[in-house]
Amino acid sequence: MAVKHSVRSTLMTLGLGVLAQRLLQLIAFLCIGRSLGAERLGCYAQGLALAALLSVLAGAGIRNLLARAVARAPGSARSLVSTAVRARLLFGTVLIVPAIVIAALTTDQPWFWTLCLLQVLPAAFDLKNLLDASGRSSAEVALETAASLLQFVLVIGWLAAGGHDLTVLAGITLASRCVYAAGALPAIRALPHTGEAVSLEGVFRRSLAVSLGQTAHELMTAGDVWLVAVLFGQATAGLYAVAVRIAAAALLPSAQVARLLLPHLLRASAAGSPARTVATALRATSFATLPMVAGGAVVAEPLCALFGADFVFAAPALRLVLLAACLQHLGWQCSHALFAAGRDAAYAAGLLGPAVLHALLLGTFAGGGDAASASLAMLGAQIAYLIAGLWLMRGALATSGRLWLGPLAVATATGLCAAVPALWLAGPVALAVQLTAGACGLLASLWLVELRGRWRRIGDGLAAASGFRG
């Protein structure tokens, strides 16, 4: 019973806490977009993406390796995470010093780029997945919520002061990440430390292929906006960034389900049924993504218009990004299952191939010059990612052919309910009614298809399949 309660309480913590974070972040980004316009928003997004890209390089794709090591040796959590943070700080410093020099010599906004690049340092303290693996998700959620709230308040102040200076905006983002980093220090000290000897260097050396594949995957996930800005221009990057932000907000439930499921997938390989666990993970992810894709496709134009009239042109990109992100989230579950089973070569290849394909497709479509072309490149890569993941997991999923029927039914109901109000309403009122109708259709169909008579047992099947005990 304690395990089942843990699944539900962790899901509640992640759901409520991260919902607050994403709402604050999305509203702040919306206000920034309305103030800056597409081209200057593209410049801001490019700066954030460059910092994220260098943060990935500083971390060398070791986050999931650390999570697996913590799950296998909980008593070494503090030493593993502390060593990883120090290594990321060192590598991050090595990366940003020449980058700052280049920015000072070659750009007309050196302070903006410097403040963006400095975000690599507090990013070294990012504890997502790591605290999840040690059963301390609530601490990480509290840290991220505090950072998001500070950023939101400071952005409101920036808007009140005129809302035009990109350098101040970059400083606000840096300050919020520093608050997260400061709070991470006591959270790291609170991790278990029983003297179990697990070497971070050994973890890294034994899984170099995993690190390379994970790094490539995270580079494209974190740095795609930067690459779009380089290849397509900053105005296109602004539209693309809006599509990505809205899609991330819509698929927030799925992202949190992925965080909840990773420790269970890691544990299932040793104490449970990996096949049942990955099937459960895919079904849960399908329920969290497919309805959002259907509903988001219907309301794409009015959602993008909230950022300003120019951003209506982001609607086609949003539809493609929603579908691509849905496929990516499903692919994550296959990748995590491969990783948990120790199939490191297959895991690495499954991440590396689509990342390379994504970059190649962006280069191929750059001549199109619009956000939809950039989004189509993302979609092509994620189709390949999911197909590869399902093929690699075909043995475990051989008896799970019906797991998609329920999610598809719920997605259809959500899309239809969101579409109906647009037949007689228009403008902002129509969007509000559409979102409400879509949400009602989602909840009603989810209850009928999946939860009726079983809602009290949420988490039971996952706990039984994975054998998770903490």
Least confident window among 2-11, 220-229, 282-291, 304-313: 2-11
The boundaries of the domain holding residue 438 are: 2-466
Least confident window among 41-45, 273-277, 361-365, 405-409: 273-277
Residues with Cβ within 8 Å of residue 64, at least 6 apart in sequence: 129, 210, 214, 262, 336, 339
**What per-residue confidence (pLDDT) applies to 194?**
72
Residues with Cβ within 8 Å of residue 436, at least 6 apart in sequence: none
Judged against a pLDDT cut of 80, whether residue 80 lies above it is answered with no
Highest-confidence segment of 49-63, 287-301, 413-427: 287-301
Q: State how far the alpha carbon of 231 is from the alpha carbons of 25, 117, 319, 360, in Å.
A: 26, 20, 21, 11
**What per-residue confidence (pLDDT) applies to 360?**
94
How many domains in the chain?
A: 1
**What per-residue confidence (pLDDT) applies to 375?**
94
Least confident window among 62-71, 78-87, 354-363: 62-71
Least confident window among 58-72, 182-196, 436-450: 58-72
**What per-residue confidence (pLDDT) applies to 267?**
64
Q: What residue has token string 């794709």? A: 61
Higher pLDDT, 382 or 343: 382
User: pLDDT for 90-135, tens place per residue?
Assistant: 889 999 999 999 988 888 889 999 999 999 999 988 877 666 656 6
Q: Tell me which amino acid residue 188 is.
A: I
User: pLDDT for 167-218, tens place per residue?
Assistant: 999 999 999 999 999 998 888 888 777 766 555 565 555 566 777 787 888 8
Highest-confidence segment of 183-187, 266-270, 436-440, 449-453: 436-440
Give the tokens for residue 197: 């000897």
The string of DSSP codes covering 314-358 is GHHHHHHHHHHHHHHHHHHHHHHHHHHTT-HHHHHHHHHHHHHHH
User: Within 13 A of 322's CA, how many CA atoms are on the CB side?
Assistant: 26
Contact 157, 111 (CB under 8 A): no
Least confident window among 6-10, 392-396, 397-401, 403-407: 6-10
Judged against a pLDDT cut of 50, whether residue 224 lies above it is answered with yes
Highest-confidence segment of 186-195, 268-277, 343-352: 343-352
**What per-residue confidence (pLDDT) applies to 9?**
52
Judged against a pLDDT cut of 70, whether residue 7 lies above it is answered with no
Judged against a pLDDT cut of 70, whether residue 71 lies above it is answered with no
Higher pLDDT, 379 or 220: 379
Q: State how far the alpha carbon of 443 is from the alpha carbons of 11, 146, 439, 440, 446, in Å.
A: 17, 30, 6, 5, 5
**What per-residue confidence (pLDDT) applies to 201?**
60
Across the chain, mean pLDDT equals 81
The band of 1, judged by pLDDT with boundaries at 50, 70 and 90, is very low
Q: State how far the alpha carbon of 337 is from the alpha carbons of 107, 280, 376, in Å.
A: 44, 11, 27
The string of DSSP codes covering 412-425 is HHHHHHHHGGGGT-
The CA distance from 415 to 459, in Å, is 27
